[in-house]
A and B are shown apart, each in its own frame.
Chain A
């Protein structure tokens, strides 16, 4: 039974996701003792810059029909960039492993909790709940995918085992993606940009029989996150220091967290930090 971590990295004009993937793969090796494979639309770039990092480099075609979305960099900067996020539903077919931990490149792994996935009987696991570090923000958008609608699940980390259940889930995600406008209307999602969190949430809801349920189980441990309005300052041996936006947006306050897995949604801040380390 092969097992490993899989990441998707498709650079846009400003953000080097491959660089993040390289950084993450080293942390995965350190904390989870697992190989990491990468799905990318530019294998030559990966092989040139990071020839020894990845277990396998899986090349997919360049995405032509990508959308755009706003990327923030702390409280004061934002830019509109290409958003290439349509390959996640193909991961079931693309993964080289029997048991796969699919992860965003901006998840800072700092402990071995997620290694327990592989000992569980559940063929699919996601996070439904994650903990935001400001402790003041209105997080209702992460509770339900729209105010009257279904539970929100994070597609940030997904464990799956090659199995009929996992196949159905990914097929369902693919179906939702292919019929996004319909499902967007059905689930009252106002933002037109396709989002994997929503597609996975809808697929989980459908697999729960269109009811609230626990057919799909939650991943072990806690996933923390900072938003793109917050900043990563430094990290040493799993001790992260962040600057988090104040409630009145007059500045930042410092937050330190030790030995926890943190989703660093501010990609620019993460990129700067990685550059400083290299």
Chain B
């Protein structure tokens, strides 16, 4: 069985997504030492982090997101840019906290796989309907591109060609399949992937109700909290990262993939802890 190889897409805007990607890569090296990592970016990777990536690949076919801040318009290019025959894609604002090689046993049964449910920091299945009204109202498959996986094959190629079409014409497709601008006035990889899945009627082929692969999704309003008086989950519960990079959020040890979602989480203390663990110096 081949190792799980990861590809991360990062494109700086007014925020340093490359730093997030480097932190994600450090977490992968710590917990999945046999895995290779590819970074797709047009930005410069700091010298001290360059060895983390087996490949640093420029974004192909020009930059479609010059005017946007969220930089998702190029995400469909991952399929064409990744050097791996089998690729696990994670968002840059994620930490991989465990060895995930056993996920391959499940993933090998699929050409393309999307997670369809995510967890809270407590390890409970998250109710994400607050953020996913268009999914619910328009019967879109509840997919999360934060972690997805594909083999290079005809099926995946076709899926990504459709993803290109939908993302390049997102206003048209969202109007037809997702309620249009009333629900969302910007393109999203999750909604776009769901629309493609609906068009191709391939939900049964690309996801399942197994308990993994999944990830912990730290969006504020899907943590199952009755009362929220803050704007950030980090104001509601504490973050504790020990010197061995074991992460606790509140009273819960985290495992699997941790999607921290808030940019401020990627702070110097977290980065330094991982750098120390991996022996990365600032010189």
Contacts and interface: CB of A to CB of B under 8 A. Distances in A.
Interface string B18-57: 0000000000000000000000000000000000000000
A229 to B, nearest CB: 22
Given A211-B123, A212-B122, A212-B124, A149 B226 contact: no
Contacts, number: 30
A198 to B, nearest CB: 12
A205 B248 CA distance: 13
Contact of A148 (B123, B124, B248, B250): B250
B127 to A, nearest CB: 14
A237 B248 CA distance: 50
Contact of B226 (A147, A150, A186, A212): A147
A147 B225 CA distance: 7
B236 interface: yes
A149 B251 contact: yes
Given A148-B236, A148-B237, A211 B225 contact: no
Contacts of B66: none
Main SS at interface, chain A:
loop
Nearest to B237: A148
A209 interface: yes
B212 interface: no
Contacts of B226: 140, 147
Contact of B252 (A140, A147, A186, A212): A212
Contact of B225 (A148, A150, A186, A209): A148
Given A148-B236, A148-B237, A210 B248 contact: yes
A187 interface: yes
- Among B124, B225, B236, B251, max chain A CB count under 10 A is at B251
A186 B122 contact: no
Contacts of A187: 251
Given A211-B123, A212-B123, A205 B227 contact: no
B253 interface: yes
Nearest to B248: A210
B253 A210 contact: yes
A210 B252 contact: yes
Interface in B242-276: 248, 250-253, 255
A147 B230 CA distance: 14
Given A147-B227, A148-B237, A209 B251 contact: no
27 contacts: A140-B226, A147-B225, A147-B226, A147-B227, A148-B225, A148-B237, A149-B250, A149-B251, A150-B122, A150-B251, A186-B251, A187-B251, A205-B251, A209-B253, A210-B248, A210-B251, A210-B252, A210-B253, A211-B123, A211-B252, A211-B253, A211-B255, A212-B122, A212-B123, A212-B124, A212-B252, A213-B123
Interface of A: 140, 147-150, 186-187, 205, 209-213
8 A-B pairs closest in CB distance: A212-B123, A210-B253, A148-B237, A150-B251, A149-B251, A211-B253, A148-B250, A212-B122
